[in-house]
Structure 1
Amino acid sequence: MTDARRWMEHGTQLFLSGVDGLDDAGVAAPSGLPGWSRRHLLAHVAANAEALGNLVHWAETGEETPMYASSDARARGIEEGSQLPAATLLAWPRSSAEKLDVAMASLSDEQWTQLIVTAQGRTVPATEIPWMRAREVCVHAVDLGTGVTFADLPADFLVALGNDIVGKRGAVPGVALRLEATDASAIWDLPGVDAPVGVAGPLADLVAYLSGRPHDLSTTDGSPVPVLPAWL
């Protein structure tokens, strides 16, 4: 959990630094996510902190407090949040991140072991919360499109994120892949029905590819890499 807290803090600072540089026009510009403006992304990341705060409350009190009332409520919250005045919207990711950090700091060792349920329905100990937030802020710091890339994220975070994504993708076999980092000790195998396609390149590009973000990769025979389905 110590690593996840460190990654969470790093990603939060990257994200907030990108937010701080936005003016009204910048807030309205497209994000790196299809169909979403930066307004949607800001609302999403801010609301995510509040939703994870619900899980912290669950861990602290034992009172079942889901992240979101429903998937529809989550979507409505993002859409409504995206319509906030620019100044209010820009302040929201910072204030919600600070509240989440304070709430997590109050948990005892025993409370961190409390079982909670994620938005995807997984039952996990509360120690997963920092990782869930680290993944959110680090990846979306890239999606803001303010100059942050996967190469700006800690290498050990990238390996952990790659492991996480491969675990999820491997549960639903598709194109068989063997991914090898050329600048780190990381190799991933994705199952499939045919012989695996080899892809080698920088760790940052491999994880960007796995997460469905822009990358500069080709297969080991020089052909385009296979298109992957949505990760989350």
Structure 2
Amino acid sequence: MFDHERDLASVRDATERLLTAAAKLNNDSVAEPSRLPGWTRGHVLAHIARNADALVNALEGRPMYVSGEARDAGIERDAPRPLDVQLSDVRDSAARFQQAGAAPADWSRTLELRNGVTDIASTLPFRRWAEVELHHVDLGIGYELEDLPAEFTEREITFLADRFSGHPEVPPTVITDGTRAWSTGSGATEPEVTVTGPAPELLGWLSGRRTGAELDVPGGVLPALPPL
């Protein structure tokens, strides 16, 4: 179950953490590479802002983006902006998302997202929380997977494990941090793989942000995950 009001508060807190950290950058460092291939920190900040507006579109019954090309073009257009403009855009777009989230609505309704994906409206605040937290890490400015709130890490592992559940390219897999366990992968009759490690390392592997080299796979090989 998703508590959209609680998640909206978590989004607000995560956004403030990101803005406070990013405010220590300057115009030169915003133009430097982020941890995402081919993207500067300006690209990441632009994406965070445009994602907020896209989710407002979804909440209000419009397509998230006019097209994939328009999405990419908007990020490229906004990436070179100076730091103060970037931060204002992230802050203002975040406020628009919070305002849309506070409007009376049927949170059990189904919404259309990108690429034909549909989901229940109440999941959107958590999806936004993930965008803010993980892209804060992607900025490469000292906020690491180990710094993420424990609740978020556990829930995002659950979310990603569910996303790969039934995927034909992923063998049946149990993921565990020694305390909790998640199942993912296909329902095929292949031998089950067990992947063990600290929760931040598990999240890094599932989200494509770490190689999984620090994870333990007794008697097996770490599954190769398809792109998200």
Compute the TM-score of the two structures, normalised by the length of structure 2.
0.86
| Displacement of 1:36 | 0.9
Deviations 1:180-224 (A, max 9, x none): 113x42333433664233221111111111101125523244987
Deviations 1:71-119 (A, max 9, x none): 11111111111132343123211111122112322x11x4434432112
Question: Which segment is superposed worse, 173-182 or 76-85?
Answer: 173-182
Query: C-alpha separation between the residues in 2 aligned to 1:224 and 1:34?
Result: 26
User: Partner of 1:198 in structure 2?
Assistant: 194
| Displacement of 1:165 | 1.1
For 2:76, the aligned partner's letter is: E
User: Partner of 1:41 in structure 2?
Assistant: 44
Paired-residue identity, %: 33
Residues 175 and 194 of structure 1 are in contact (CA less than 8 Å); yes or no, is this contact kept in structure 2? no
User: Partner of 1:72 in structure 2?
Assistant: 69
Instruction: Give the one of 136, 149, 163 matched to 1:154.
Output: 149
| Displacement of 1:28 | 0.9
Q: Does 1:170 align with 2:165?
A: yes
Query: C-alpha separation between the residues in 2 aligned to 1:205 and 1:6?
Result: 26
User: Partner of 1:89 in structure 2?
Assistant: 86
Question: Which segment is superposed worse, 204-213 or 158-167?
Answer: 158-167
Deviations 1:120-163 (A, max 9, x none): 32333322221221111111111111111122222222222112
Residues 11 and 125 of structure 2 are in contact (CA less than 8 Å); yes or no, is this contact kept in structure 1? yes
| Displacement of 1:32 | 1.3
Task: Please give the secondary structure, in 2, of the residue aligned with 1:116.
Answer: strand
Query: C-alpha separation between the residues in 2 aligned to 1:118 and 1:132?
Result: 11
Root mean square deviation of aligned Cα: 2.3
Query: C-alpha separation between the residues in 2 aligned to 1:203 and 1:92?
Result: 32
| Displacement of 1:67 | 1.0
Greater RCO, 1 or 2 (C-alpha within 8 Å, sep 6+): 1
Instruction: Give the one of 135, 143, 159 matched to 1:140.
Output: 135
Task: Please give the secondary structure, in 1, of the residue aligned with 2:183.
Answer: strand
User: Partner of 1:30 in structure 2?
Assistant: 33
User: Partner of 1:228 in structure 2?
Assistant: 225
Task: Please give the secondary structure, in 1, of the residue aligned with 2:111.
Answer: strand
Counting matched residue pairs gives 222
What residue ranges of structure 2 are gaps of 5+ in the alignment?
A: none
User: Partner of 1:188 in structure 2?
Assistant: 183
For 2:110, the aligned partner's letter is: L
Q: Does 1:8 align with 2:11?
A: yes
